[in-house]
Structure 1
Amino acid sequence: MSSNIQSQFGVNVLDVIKIQYKTRIIFDYVQSCYTVSYIQKGEVLTTSSEGEYVASAGDVMIHRPNEPFNVISKRDGVHYLFNINATVGAGDDFFKLFPLGKVIRVRDRDVYERKFDELRSLWLQEEDDLRNVQVGSLVFYLLYEIVESTKHGGRRASRDPAVTDRFNEALQFMEDRLDQEITREELAKLYHMNPVYFSRAFQKIYKLTPMQMLRKLRLQHAKQLLESTDYTMEHISGRCGFYDASHFSKAFQTVYGKGPSEYRKSIKFTKTSIASP
């Protein structure tokens, strides 16, 4: 018994690379091909139009052509990656016919890394027909491993912004410096992020921009001072980062429906009423 099998898989391998780094920060990077990047060591935050994902050792990230993406890591890492264009049949995009997640957990790390090392070794050899066939076969094998990994629960869901504590450091930074001038750029530097992307990611989690959150924290602190101290309006406005008492009063009334003086009187009246027999 025999079978006549004609391959319908075509692949154009553009590069095969091992990358080692101390930190890795890429913003709004756009490429004309697919990049399949396996994390051998480290952990990165990767974002694109598809969402935000955390990828760690044993995960594969798939970056699609002509779609900006970011990769951020503050720790040592090693990535195994190859750049390709892959087609099936009459030229249909492989990754559109077989949609995969942005981040996939590889089912067998040892096998994947061993096959990648074979691919890398071949890629560095002098080009000839046999070498090209072997390279294409190994790329196909690695793609097969990735596809099979999704069947074993390897597809990673996007990070849930409702439970993330990613920007706790920024919140603490604001709370420790409410009386100081703070800029979006200064906050973004805490995470080695582009200020525009930082603001977008922050707002996705808290439904407020960083500057709106700073204003909210300042007014909350001012409210606490009105309730618990006899500080003057000038003193409170300075402690909470407002230009002057007039600016503070307008901002407070907009949020709480009462001016700070009126609010303090209502609090004192409430306390007196509770304390009376």
Structure 2
Amino acid sequence: MALVSCGCAADPHGWELIDHGTALFPVACYRDDLYLEGVPCPWHWHDELEAVVVSQGEVEVAAGGETFTVSAGDGFFIGSRVLHNIRDLGGGGFRLRSVVFHPRLVGGSVDSVFWQEYLLPLLSPRAPACVRLDRRVPWRRESLEAIESAWHSAEREMPGFVFQVRAALSELVFQLVTHLPVEPRLPSEKALRDEERIKAMMRFMQAHYTRELTVAYIAASVSISPSECLRCFHATIGTTPIQYLRQLRVQKAAELLADTDWKVSDIAERCGFREMSYFTKTFRELKGCTPSAYRERKRTGR
């Protein structure tokens, strides 16, 4: 399994539009060199567990209603189906080494001791949504070393590397389950309801981003008022539905610029931008360059 650059495209149901590994080996390791990508991805979630080491720069991680800063050398763990986002804090971009894996890679079948004693606690609603891994704390440092070991084993692809990857992730799971609180603080019913609403509205926007969408239209998709929609977005992910929609549309446009030969104006229209000038302005704000320059950079690798 070669290392790849990670994308954050999500399908119409709100999950990432990425196959993390294969049915036989459900894990993928990513090299994220996000120095010229602007906003890396919109808020998203996936069924898999995710473990990340920040190799350069400084990032802000938001997940499960919490926000914290992670610097180079440290990392974090994201639980299954946890709504999360990562953004650059240093201004010069950042680099990540991430491992995204399905729980069954470590847990095996649901009737195994591995699943029952070690994976179920991580998949429980009572499990922490996100764990900051600070290298100054011994067990967290061992967790970071396990992530690095899994990532480098995948990078080298030496004979038997699949055993090495699984063993390293098993060590990570062991450290997490052994040291995390048994009864962590549960989010309030209101926070849980807000997150489910956010996910439903994101699914709606993923399916209809090419159309004219207003706050009222987005709110109606989950039968709430526009003011409640705005409150929900602000309380849960710290932005507005229209700002999220702009990010989503630019992300979709960037994918088409990189992967097709369509005219820039056609891509703008396909992604919900009715005015070319507004598309160019928005794209530059989020990606740091014009759509044409972005396409050229992707094709030349510079």
Which structure has the bigger radius of gyration?
1
Classify the TM-score, shorter chain: 0.3 to 0.5
TM-score (norm 2): 0.40
By percentage of residues, which structure has more strand?
Answer: 1
TM-score (norm 1): 0.43
Larger relative contact order, structure 1 or 2 (CA cutoff 8 Å, min sep 6): 2
